[in-house]
Amino acid sequence: MAASAAPEHVERIVIENCSIATVDADDTEYASGHVVVAGNRIESVGAGRAPEGLENVVRRIDGTGHLVTPGLINTHHHFYQWITRGLATDHNLFDWLVALYPTWARIDEPMVRAAAQGSLAMMARGGVTTAMDHHYVYPQGTGDLSGAIIGAARDMGVRFTLARGSMDRSVKDGGLPPDFAVETLDGALAGTEATVDAHHDASFDAMTQVAVAPCSPFSISTELLRQGAELARRKGLRMHTHGSETVEEEKFCHELFGMGPTDYFESTGWLGDDVWMAHCVHMNDSDIAAFARTGTGVAHCPSSNARLAAGIARVPDMLAAGVPVGLGVDGTASNESGELHTELRNALLINRLGAHREKALNARQALRLGTYGGAQVLGRADQIGSLEPGKLADLVLWKLDTLAHASIADPVIALVFGAAAPVTLSLVNGKPVVEGNHLITADEDAIARATRDEARRLAQIAAGA
């Protein structure tokens, strides 16, 4: 690939002698190649060693035994759930929510910050360079929860989208959350707009963006959906929610709205190329066609779907129809590992249990879901998600020459089918976040202690309520 022009005197990082999976439109790969990073951009990618005569090379890395890929992109998560892991482990979605909502409604700013640090640390250490959090629990008087989450991502050094969520349909209105756990319609809209105005960055190399994200059909009013869509489009923002996750949700929508989730979302302005939805497990042919026709994206969360017995999403059919699909960890109360790189493998394996069997997904399709697919879903495919000159320097150097992978000849198959690979180096915006399989932007042990302490404090508060 041709080099892109870089400003004079920009500092460069050179990675050589590595396998490369660019995940570009042609799935270009190099058995032994180089990547040159200039500042926060990818300057060149190609076969063999880097060009001679490069100036201001501050670091040169021998990538022998490694694979370089774009950084992984997480498209659905609930960071606060890090401090309620391991609870309600034998429940379906609705029962799980009813069991945990009363505890979640008692979170406060220190808890949310610690949980965000734990979630971000686990993802970043496993190759995630762009994270996303759908936070929708805002108890009154508990501090600046959105600011705490955004601050944690900034300190970790990862690129980040906060999907500012909301709930205004409680038990008294026929929803699932307890009455004290929701906002008013006006409060939710005002809180969302204030978060956007304070934190959203629309620039090419933005590190923080904000999306409008009412929670789900069984916890939000129709008016919140409609006015949320109007707010998002007035401000040029992306939109996110949960959709078609379970058969119980399908039944709920038919009973309450007289139609299925996809038709309901379309009636409220929630299909479009500025929208992505989490899960989308129970989609019929008409639903998939509607998503393809409108460009609506999907955050596929295979481990969480399995943990809550939600079902197997029709990912191969979505991809065949042209639906943008990325991967999501989902909240760590329904995916306790909190890692996205394991979702590459789980997406492939779980989809092979469906109708398409061994033809469902292959290793390169799984890698694309976790990289370029995620960039599409977040509306940033021109900036991240593939290794191409001019794109932002978000990339991962995976170590594949140890016992766990060394006998697998194909590096992409080793990464996807094999054990979780160590991260030798992760760059976000051209800056190291992980070195030698350890975070360098945060103290992992301190985060572990903080999350343990806040989890215990939350449990004590919930038990005494």
Q: What domain range is 283 assigned to?
A: 72-377
pLDDT at 140: 86
pLDDT at 98: 87
Mean pLDDT over the full length of the chain: 96
**CA 164 – CA 440 distance, rounded (Å):** 28
Q: Would 439 be classed as within a structural domain?
A: no
Average pLDDT for 325-354: 97
CATH of the domain at 81: 3.20.20.140
pLDDT at 275: 98
Q: Would 417 be classed as within a structural domain?
A: no
Question: pTM above 0.85?
Answer: yes
CA distance to 78, 83, 111, 463, per residue, from 456 (Å) = 19, 8, 10, 10
First to last CA, the chain: 61
Q: Would 283 be classed as within a structural domain?
A: yes
**Amino acid identity, residue 262?**
T
**CA 259 – CA 381 distance, rounded (Å):** 33
- pLDDT tens column, 25-58: 999 999 999 999 999 999 999 999 999 999 999 9
Pick the range with the lowest mean pLDDT from 112-116, 324-328, 409-413, 461-465. 461-465
Q: State the angle between helix axes of 109-125 and 145-156 in degrees (0 to 180), rounded to the nearest 10.
A: 30
Nearest to 24 by CA among 295, 322, 368, 361: 368
- pLDDT tens column, 402-443: 999 999 999 999 999 999 999 999 999 999 999 999 999 999
Strand-pairing partners, residue 135, are: 164
Residue 7 in this model has a pLDDT that exceeds 70: no
pLDDT at 395: 98
Nearest to 252 by CA among 214, 294, 220: 220
Phi, psi of 226 (to 5 degrees): -65, -50
Q: Would 3 be classed as within a structural domain?
A: no
pLDDT at 2: 55
Q: Would 2 be classed as within a structural domain?
A: no
Average pLDDT for 115-136: 98
Q: For residue 170, what pLDDT band results from cuts at 50, 70 and 90?
A: confident
- pLDDT tens column, 228-287: 999 999 999 999 999 999 898 899 899 999 999 999 999 999 999 999 999 999 999 999
Average pLDDT for 86-99: 92
Residue 180 in this model has a pLDDT that exceeds 70: yes
Domain count, the chain: 1
Q: Would 189 be classed as within a structural domain?
A: yes
pLDDT at 177: 82
Average pLDDT for 5-20: 88
Average pLDDT for 164-186: 88
- pLDDT tens column, 340-373: 999 999 999 999 999 999 999 999 999 999 999 9
Burial 243-281 (b: 16+ CB within 10 A, else e): bbbbeebbebbeeeeeebbbbbbbebbbbbebbbbbbbb
Residue 194 CB neighbours (<10 A):
12
pLDDT at 173: 85
**Amino acid identity, residue 333?**
A
pLDDT at 178: 80
Q: Can you count the helices (H) and strands (E) in the chain? A: 15, 17
Reported in sequence order, the residue ranges of 41-119 that DSSP labels E, i.e. its strands, are 41-47, 57-62, 66-70, 72-73
pLDDT at 259: 96
Q: Would 43 be classed as within a structural domain?
A: no
Residue 445 in this model has a pLDDT that exceeds 80: yes
pLDDT at 181: 80
Q: Would 223 be classed as within a structural domain?
A: yes
DSSP, collapsed to helix, strand or coil, labels residue 366 as helix
pLDDT at 94: 87
